[in-house]
Structures are given as C-alpha cells and as structure tokens.
Amino acid sequence: MESKALTERINKTKDSGEYSVKVGIGREYMSEVFKEADIAYDVIKTDLKASRNGRQRYEKWVIGPESLLVKEIPIELSSATYDDLAVMRSAVEKLFACMETKKIKIELNESTSTQVHLSTPGEFSVQEVKKIAKSVLYWERCVDCLVSSKRVNKGYVESNHASVYFNQRKTDASIEAAIAAVEKCETVEGVALLMCTQPDGSEIAHRGFRVNFRNLLEGELGTIEFRQADGSGDAATAIAWPAFWIGFCVSAIKTGIDGRKMTMEGLKGFVVDGLETYGKADPGWVETIFEGKMNRNPTTVDFTDEKRGLAVVQGHAWG
C-alpha cells in the first residue's frame, strides 16, 4: 500500500481509541518497509518458547504490538537471530535507511528500549553464567552511567545487585559480597534465581532486571538478555548495543574482572577487549554509546527502598 493511503488511514483512526487498528496499520506500514529494504519479515510476531535442548530462533524480523508505547502507532521490531554481528549491522542499516526514505519518524519515550538477547550454539555452562553474572554486578554502576535515568530507577530495569542483596537477607551490601554469593551457586538455575528475584519473593526469576537471566531456566529461550539500553533512534545506536553486550559477555568469560578499575575507561576497555576477541565486529561500533560519558563517575547505591527493592541511584547527573 502506498504511504499516502496509509497516512490517510492513520489520520482517521489515531484518535479513535482503536488500539488494534493502529497496531494493524503499523504492521502493514512496516511490512512495506521490510520489503523495500530487502529484509525477510513476518507480519505477526510469534511467541517463541522452547526447551533448552531444542531452542527455536527468529529466522526473520517480526513486527508486534508493544503495549507500553502509547503514542501514535505502538509497535515492537524484533530482529532475526544472527550469528554474525556484521551481517546484522547490514540489515539494521538497510532498515533505518528505508524508514528515512519513507519519512517514518521514530519517537522515543521512557518506555522505549533496545533489548539484546545473547545465546550460544549449545548451552551456557554454569561457570560461564557465573562469570557473566559477576561482571554484571561489578560493572553495574558504570553501565548505569551509559543510559538515561529512566533506564535506572524504573521497575522494569531493577538492579541485579539489589536482587542478590535482598536474597542474601540484607547482610552485606558490598559488591564483593554479591560476587561471593554468585560464586557459591552450583547451577545455572541458582544463578538466575539469585540475580533476578523480587525482594519480597513474589516473583522468582522475574525478567524485569537490568540483565535478565530468567531465560536460562528450563523451558525458556536459553538467552541472557541485556534490557537496560535506551531506545535506538538510528542505525549506529541500534547496532552499538548488541556490540556492547557481545563484547561484555565475551570479556567476562575469557578474562573476567581481575585487575580492572571500576571506571568508565575500565568498562570501555573491558568491552573493546571482548569485541577484539570476538573478531566479527569493529570495536569502534560502541563509540556512540560511550561518547560524552567517559568523565562520569560510577553511581552509588542505596538499598533502603525495600518495598520495591530497587537500587536508588544517588550522586549522578545525566546529560
């Protein structure tokens, strides 16, 4: 369908309260974009659940509704599963270029985010998961400095450190104690429960944390999901976050945090080293998310908000 006709339909329905109609228009509009950008797509987003021994993959990009995005046409774009970040980058660049050609404006708000799922050809070992979890705890305050405040003090991106603290009956709030608690875990499931459980025990392995380990449980997707990134309004940012998460996890598994200073420079070096080890991405791809943030100091944390169990950030100003 031509863009003009779609625009007319949008104008007729956007104030009608017909949420499903608006989403349907969004899907139709974006399916045309995918065609022109030569990216394989499915119009309907399916719920891909699978066992740890037989995980399914997104073979195509998919378009689905996103209930948290309330303005205009709220949709979510999910990429296919890629084994090569360079191939993914090409698809992302074509998609954004085509949207620009069709004059599609991307509107970001506090509910938009860029979420990155990482998996392996087989399964993560317990030692690999523990290394990633310990790195997540160690660098949490620095990663907070890379994102806006809306991606820190919200219930859908809770602190993994806070989860460990409340799971350990609030005996010691230090990062060292949290890392030691992870080291004591004997199973992948044990790490997931420790890192992603609500403090009141109402939801075990809740996904709404900065890093979601819930998908490692039996019957889930088998991924470790980075959820904290802001929404991406351009191709460079959209590919920077997958590059960041790959570099982070590779470095966590290969070298760990030994000897690293908890600074922005230390975090960047940690990620870049991982990307160089990965070998299928240009370390320069993460520059856009570090730009202008290298002088920020790691945040401090206060666990007094026991009702929600959130890590309340103090002493940090966002630009």
- At 207-230, the pLDDT tens digits run 889 999 999 998 888 999 999 999
Distance CA(114)–CA(286), nearest Å, equals 14
Q: Are the C-beta atoms of residues 285 and 277 closer than 8 Å to each other?
A: no
**Whole-prediction pTM value?**
0.83
pLDDT band at 198 (very low <50, low <70, confident <90, very high): confident
End-to-end CA distance of the chain: 41
- For the stretch 96-153, pLDDT in tens is 999 998 888 888 877 789 999 999 988 999 999 999 999 999 999 999 999 998 888 7
Q: How far is CA 245 from CA 84, 128, 143, 229, 241, in A?
A: 14, 15, 11, 10, 6
